[in-house]
Amino acid sequence: MQLNSKLNASITAVGGYVPEHRLLNKNLEQIVDTNDEWIQSRTGIKERRILKDPSKATSFLAIQASKNLISKNNIDPLTIDMVIVATTTPDMQIAATAAYVASEIGSYNAFGYDLQAACSGFLYAMSMASGKIESGRYKKVLVVGADKMSSVIDYKDRSTCILFGDGAGAVLFESNNDGLGWQDEYFKSNGDGRESLNVKAGGSLFPATSTTISNRDHYLRQDGRKVFKTAVSAMSDASSTILKRNNLVGEDIDYLVAHQANERIIESIAKRMSLKPSKVLKNIAKYGNTTAATIPLLLYDFQNKFKRGNKIIFAAFGGGFTWGAAYYIWSK
């Protein structure tokens, strides 16, 4: 293959981690008014993983996924220049989870920061990492998507508790000049949607008080119908834009790696892109919606499926609203 002078950002290593505890649909039947058949038919979810230890937070998940990546790929953590943690459930306010993760994995030469774009966070973070690599200033950027969603879920609310789980995934970006890797991206946001999917209290608008606690305002709430409809339209439009901009059609794409929010959303996007079911990667049945961790966990679970030169479309939608799609050519 002919080399060129332009640097491209490529994923050279993948890692992942999910907690051991499995929360099955039949377990939720004992908590809220729901049942296994109803959950599976509407979401495609059979179970989700939960980090039960109250002393462990999102950083624990991120650290485990990062250590998995480092150990399995013989990476020297001191060679990592930058760590980005995409999360909507950081350990705490002010102190960046990424800074703690970098220290705990031994990346003492790296700087780190958190990126919050809800379920779109990991996709956005990959864009940030790609830009840093393509600038030539950084050689290795670790991108982690991690969320302990169980910390913000009201297990009395059947509209949300059936959907979310805990987990983390990580990828390492490095440069190449063979034209593979990160190709193009199309991202959007619309603040009009923030009332439809949020955790109302805990920020500067509604600081924690006895009232916000008694009102259960520190739990995630969503307008499910609006989120579903908007997610399908937004991710489909973004993916179509990427295809057109790169002179591609559905047949050219090897895999769709989409945010795992709801199986029906994923299938609707695939249908609009005219993709065969075999090209649509899914693991929502066993993990549920892990927010910023869904895309990297897909890469982790299916990493042995990808071949050099495979054309991949990434797509995500999250609170804010935030959404987008990206075109990537597998380079390993």
Contacts of 277 (CB under 8 A, 6+ apart): 270
Is residue 1 included in any domain, yes or no?
no
Question: Are 191 and 317 in a shared domain?
Answer: yes
Question: Are 116 and 138 in a shared domain?
Answer: yes
Is residue 75 included in any domain, yes or no?
yes
Is 21 a catalytic site residue? no
Q: Considering 179, 198, 231, which residue would you say is the last residue of a domain?
A: 179
Is 218 a catalytic site residue? no
Question: Are 188 and 217 in a shared domain?
Answer: yes
Average pLDDT across each block of 10 residues of the chain; the chain has 332 residues. List them in order.
73 98 97 96 97 98 98 98 98 97 98 98 98 97 98 96 98 95 97 95 96 96 95 96 96 98 96 95 98 98 97 97 98 88
Q: Which of 8, 25, 68, 119 is catalytic?
A: 119
Question: Are 132 and 219 in a shared domain?
Answer: no
Boundaries of domain holding 260: 182-283+293-329
Write down the number of H helices and E strands in the chain.
11, 13
Question: Are 61 and 188 in a shared domain?
Answer: no
Question: Are 40 and 143 in a shared domain?
Answer: yes
Is residue 3 included in any domain, yes or no?
no
Cα–Cα distance, 107 to 55 (Å, whole number): 23
Report pLDDT for 1. 47
- For the domain that residue 136 is a member of, what is the CATH number? 3.40.47.10
Cα angle 300-134-95, degrees, rounded to a multiple of 5: 65
CA Rg, the chain, in Å?
19
Is residue 312 included in any domain, yes or no?
yes
Count: domains in the chain: 2
Is residue 101 included in any domain, yes or no?
yes
Report pLDDT for 206. 96
Is residue 62 included in any domain, yes or no?
yes
Q: Which of 259, 262, 304, 310 is catalytic?
A: 259
Q: Considering 161, 179, 197, which residue would you say is the last residue of a domain?
A: 179
Question: Are 21 and 155 in a shared domain?
Answer: yes
Report pLDDT for 4. 57
